[in-house]
Amino acid sequence: MRLGKVGGRSVNRYWHYTTLLAVKKIIASGEIRAIASVPQSGETPGAWFSTNSQWEETVRKVLLDTQTGKQTEPLSRDALWARGYPPARIEVNPVLVNLHGWTKHKTMSEDSRKMLKNMERVGRNWGAHPNEWFVSYESVPLTKCLSPIEYWNGEKWVAVNVVIR
């Protein structure tokens, strides 16, 4: 999805997808932190974004099922919402943040080829498209994001009533 034109060139829209619970932590810290998605994996830390305007399938979350005491399978956007964990998204201003696409990331990062191939395989199996993946190797301050922060209400993305400062 295109944001519009900046300096005569088209600019994509980039969202950081997460849950509303995580957005509260992001707001408290004032930034989208560059972290490894799998701790202690050796993965290059990054703040990840997607150009997919509906949902980034790789943002599936695993929850603890309080009835069985076991972890759920990775849950999609709609499954998270149905379980009371509304998905959320924050749009970054691409003019203010240095983003690298998946292809460039594969050549720039020190991640192992095996890890990168596995990330891509899992993402594709879940219906994601690596050409929609973008990363900042630095944490992204909320001052470089666009309002409003949005959450999924089960039918569409709607604004969260918070102010980014």
Residue 107 lies in a domain: yes
pTM of the model as a whole: 0.85
Burial class (CB in 10 A: 0-12, 13-18, 19+), 140: buried
Would residue 109 count as lying in a domain?
A: yes
Is residue 83 included in any domain, yes or no?
Answer: yes
Whether 158 contacts 151, CB under 8 Å = yes
The encoded tokens of residue 71 equal 């972890």
22 in a domain, yes or no? yes
Q: Give the H or E element holding residue 114.
A: helix 113-125
Long-range contacts of 25-29 (CB under 8 A, 24+ apart): 26/90, 26/142, 27/142, 27/149, 27/162, 27/164
pLDDT tens by residue, 107-126: 888 777 888 898 899 989 99
Q: Return the pLDDT at 108.
A: 83
- The 10s digit of each residue's pLDDT in 52-74 is 999 999 998 888 888 888 998 99
The Cα 37–Cα 109 span in angstroms is 14
pLDDT given for residue 39 in this prediction: 63
Whether the CB-CB separation of 76 and 59 falls below 8 Å is answered with no
The verdict on residue 164 lying in a domain is no
Phi, psi values for residue 143, rounded to 5°: -65, -15
From CA 47, how far away is CA 160, in angstroms rounded? 21
Domain assignment present for 98: yes
Parent domain of 124:
2-159
User: Is the separation of the CB atoms in 72 and 65 below 8 Å?
Assistant: yes
Q: Which two tokens stand for residue 58?
A: 């790789």
Better-scored residue on pLDDT, 154 or 111? 154
Phi, psi for 98 (deg, rounded to 5)? -85, 100
Count: domains in the chain: 1
164 pLDDT above the threshold of 60 = no
The answer for 127, left when phi > 0, alpha when psi is -120 to 50, beta otherwise, is left
Pairing relationship of beta strands 133-136 and 100-101 according to DSSP bridges: antiparallel
Domain for residue 17, yes or no? yes
Q: Within a domain: residue 165?
A: no
Q: If you average pLDDT over residues 94-101, what whole number do you get?
A: 95
- Report the distance separating Cα 160 and Cα 11, nearest Å: 24
